[in-house]
Structure 1
Amino acid sequence: MQLVSRAVLLAACLFLFQSVTDSAGSGGCRRVKSLPKSKKSIGKCYELRVTGGTSGRIWGTDIYTSDSRIGTAAVHAGLLRVGQTGYVRVRLLAGRNSYRGSTRHGVRTKKYGRWKLSYKFVGVSGSSSSTRVRSKTHKRTTTKRIVSKGRCRRVKSLPKSKKSIGKCYELRVTGGTSGRIWGTDIYTSDSRIGTAAVHAGLLRVGQTGYVRVRLLAGRNSYRGSTRHGVRTKKYGRWKLSYKFVGVSGSSSSTRVRSKTHKRTTTKRVVSKGGKIRRAFYRPMLGRDGCSRLRRTPVNMQAYRRMVGTCFDLLITGTASGKLWGTDIYTGDSTLGMAAVHDGLLKVGQTKYLRLRVLPGRGSYSGSRQSGITSKNYRRWSLSYQFLGVAHSGNPLGKNGTNLRSTGGAGSRSREGKKTRQRRTKKSNEEQEQQPDQGDC
């Protein structure tokens, strides 16, 4: 009987100890569902289970007002990611006279004046490292709901509901330069994603791939800028935003081949002077996605239907011709002259250069570079921009000539070698047939 009473007493003690530890949390922090609002709790540590997000009001940096949303503040402090659930440790502090606003990890906090209570994070409980929230869309369902790698849901278009704020989506888009776009790094929700991907440097014009986008709350203002040949506009207040969080691995070798890559015939082109000429229009797509022309045109005006296409051209630098623009030139500007102006070639030097055909611009600014002067011009229908020297082409000589195809110094074509062998053999036979002068 005495042993039974001792066993019951021991079980009661263990149960009481477990209940106390569960209520106190780990590390001397009391586990609660919400933060107390009494000044008697100042200095005490509390442990709360929260989910990281980007919605809700928040004031302060490092030290936040007591009415700031803890889940959003945890993302701002870098303790949790958006959608991740875990136990965070918070210490209640006295109020401050002012709170500083800032932007961290995609969350923007506001500044504020005097407030009665504050709190700061003192760490994350070990139980939060592997505890994450899986939304209903992450469950395996039919083909309508597809979840790709990295916990990003694969969709055809970006959702327009505020309930999707903070979620990651994966979309298959093609880089382009058309369509309206507002913002820099963070774009309005109605901005064209393919154009924004080119502006952000994730895709090239004409390249197709899967980009990962995170939907964010609206902002009061959006800044415009020009990057990678794409110009974005500034805008005021808008309800939703998005930002890129990466590119899926399936987009590295996926490119779109337009119908214009097929071999076509020559095309009539009218220049600014009104003269009609014919341009060679038979591009061949290389292994690295850049087309190589059999003949180098004087300018790129004949390729106005191939906007976004990359070309490798054998260009010789020249100081004569017509030139409009700086860095980005009009489509009818002389290629050799533009290459010298851009600093890629010297006058008389020949190299394979890589350029991309771009859409027309509203204006072109002239300048003087490398001894070449370009002129200003107004609106024009086509542009092009040099990307650099084409290192992936055939081996080049000292002056940049193609040694494999042109039969220059250091290379001999098969036909030339056979012809020389036949000539040598024929001359030897003729010498054998001639009588020796010493025998006469």
Structure 2
Amino acid sequence: MIELLQGVDLSKHVLQQHTLKMFVKGTFFLWVVGFSQALNFPMTYTCATNARQQYDMFFPVLCPKGCASRTYGVWGNGVYTRDSSICRAAIHDGRITDEGGEVIVYQQPGQISYVGVDKHSIKSSSYGYYRGSFTFTPKIPDSPITCDTAIEDKRFELLTDFQITCPPGCLDSPGKVYGNAIYSYHSSICTAAIHDEKLSNEGGEVAVYTQPGQASYKGIKRNSVTSSDWKYSHISFSFTPDVIGVDDPPVSCFITGLDTRFTVQASLNLTCPPGCVSFEEGVWGSGVYTEDTAICRAAIHDGRLTNEEGGIVTFYRQLGQSSYIGLEKNSIKSSPYGYWRRSFSFEAKTPDPPDCTTTAEDSRFFKEKRFQFSCLPSCAETTKAIWGNVLYTTDSSICKAAIHDGRLLNGDGGIVTVYIQPGQHSYDGTERNSVKSLPHGPSSLSFSFTVNGTDYPDSTTASPDQPGGRNDDALYALIIIPVLLVIIFGVLLWRTCQRRRRYMRFSDV
């Protein structure tokens, strides 16, 4: 009898072991499936979900029904701030209806401003600069010209002249204007056109010409628009193609870029006398000259004038260079020099434009805590390395780091804002957006593309129904399943031990 009971109990034990093995295999399979879904399956989002915690350049979103009646914010039109509700923005943009549906979201660089428009029963709000944005098209669509549109808008960055159509009513909701006849790059184009008497409050078409930056801008009230004073700006614009200068009498061969007449002008027409070759005033550089170089002698050296005749030459202020090349040309020998804080040339643009290898250590950014930089397309292919993640060493390529950080698309290029940050004890290397960064030890300074050197949401308080990201539900499953496995395995083990004890007590009897 005892042997019979023992055989029955052992058969049960074997069956339990087999069942346990099958259960573990099944749950492991489910865990693998859940992990795969966490990586690939587009999860259902709530109406509150935004793009701030997404790092993929594009991703699918399955929107629920009824988001039109919710109150989650939407800022922009066609291009939306990164903290806008994705599903409500999709309705606003006409991609889905209030019944919900799937859309593809594309991350985009931050915009200088976002226009609010009432569309499809959803009213979006206007906003100023925001560091990240998204659209439902692979490239940023052309948003309409508004009274706030400035020449710093990404659409105009590579244009020397263009035409726009201004809306009516810019006197009623005027944008900021800085300057007179020549305006700073962040002035409202349409309001400046009214100020310059090129348009009335009825709006219309106007031609815009980019100009060199000015050392300062003088504000004045004209045509019911009050413009303001402004400091130095690296780009200007006007509504006439000619550069505005001053009518000066002929200057001497001794005049340099330090002359007080030139300190508030970014470009001037100068009349140089003949015979400047015989003078010994210093010339440093070639093509781009140090600010204290004799202008008329540099003009002969650069081939703009002849020594026998002299004549009129246009002089353009430029940013300082890290070094200047010495060269003998046209009977004038220039000298080399190291870093000098300001320069000038006889071209409207500096002959050596920024490229994909430019770093935050470039002399143009000396003592700058914040600056904007224009990147060429396809900088991901440059061999210049980057070190770090979110915070980068200052000897990293700015443009390549901007692609790595998701601020720019590699094929498009564009303008990024760079913030100088304190040095770090170490920098992590990661691969993001098809760009690989390298680890690095201590560095005295860093840079980032955010004010505080992080890429986290502005608020630490999240809405109760706002998920942390696309894969939150699946990630929760990855945590819960192993915990359940441990509990179930513990219960089975406990029951097996209890039966083993009962068997031992029975066999002793």
Q: Which has the higher contact order (CA 8 A, sep 6+)?
A: 2
Q: Do both share a fold (TM > 0.5)?
A: no
